């Protein structure tokens, strides 16, 4: 049985392969990535929601490879900003963004708010798609707060400003093992294959 993890990111693929099961109903799974399909052109992520983008990526990859495909999309939702940056998290500061510019814009937008007013969550939606276009999705959430500045040297993206609820430290202050044990992506992908079993073994 072959399943395509719809990413070219080697680190992400390795992380997911460690989360996902080796077999379903006794049948061994071989995980491929988009590196195995060098001519594949990834679709533009123009969905209105995080879920839209996850579905878009999974369906396109499954139809191209003609095997079931897994994809995800992740966003940071800040309550004081009515859920922004959300689906635009990666390009919050503009199309020519970088992570530092995104974080600086976010901190500026929350200037003057107390920690209790800076509640936020990371949301990952994972999608499994069959070549037919049929899909199943699952969601993982990580609750926390946006801090007042950068803390920690690990991680990437919004990790230095995201304080994990109940932990007292940012994702960037955690080891990779700590972060992965509670990550929103892990929660979403731990759910997805159980939900998608009928698509995969069909």
pLDDT of residue 10: 75
Averaged over successive runs of 10 residues, the pLDDT of the chain (202 residues) comes to 87 78 82 92 89 95 95 95 93 85 96 96 95 93 97 90 95 89 88 76 62
The span from the CA of 15 to the CA of 3, in Å, is 15
**Structural domain harbouring 49:** 2-201
Q: Are 74 and 101 in contact (CB under 8 A)?
A: no
Phi-psi region of 74 (alpha: psi -120 to 50; beta: other; left: phi over 0): beta
Q: What is the dihedral of CA 54, 60, 63, 65, to 10 degrees?
A: -90
Give the model confidence (pLDDT) of 44-88 as tens digits: 888 899 999 999 999 999 999 999 999 999 999 999 999 999 999
Q: For residue 127, which of 115, 118, 140, 116 has the smallest C-alpha distance?
A: 140
- pLDDT at res. 202: 57
Our count of domains for the chain comes to 1
pLDDT of residue 81: 97
Q: What is the pLDDT of residue 201?
A: 66
Distance of CA 51 to the CA centre of its chain: 10
> What is the domain-level CATH number for residue 128?
3.90.950.10
Q: Which residues participate in catalysis according to the annotation?
A: 73
């Amino acid at each position: 049985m072959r399943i395509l993890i719809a990413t070219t990111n080697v680190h992400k693929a390795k992380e997911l392969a460690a989360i996902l099961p080796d077999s379903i109903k006794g049948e061994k799974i071989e995980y491929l990535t988009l590196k195995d399909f060098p001519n594949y052109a990834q679709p533009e992520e123009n969905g209105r929601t995080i879920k839209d983008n996850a579905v878009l990526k999974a369906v396109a990859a499954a139809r191209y490879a003609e095997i079931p495909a897994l994809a995800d999309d992740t966003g940071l939702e800040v309550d004081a900003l009515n859920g922004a940056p959300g689906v635009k998290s990666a390009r919050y500061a503009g199309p020519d963004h970088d992570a530092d510019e995104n974080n600086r814009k976010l901190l500026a937008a929350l200037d003057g708010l107390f920690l209790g007013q800076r509640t936020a969550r990371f949301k990952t939606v994972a999608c499994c798609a069959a070549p037919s276009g049929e899909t199943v999705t699952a969601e993982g959430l990580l609750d926390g707060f946006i801090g007042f500045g950068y803390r920690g040297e690990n991680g990437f993206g919004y990790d230095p400003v995201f304080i994990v609820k109940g932990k007292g430290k940012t994702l960037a202050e955690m080891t990779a093992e700590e972060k992965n044990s509670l990550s929103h992506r892990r929660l979403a992908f731990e759910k997805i294959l159980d939900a998608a079993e009928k698509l995969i073994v069909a």
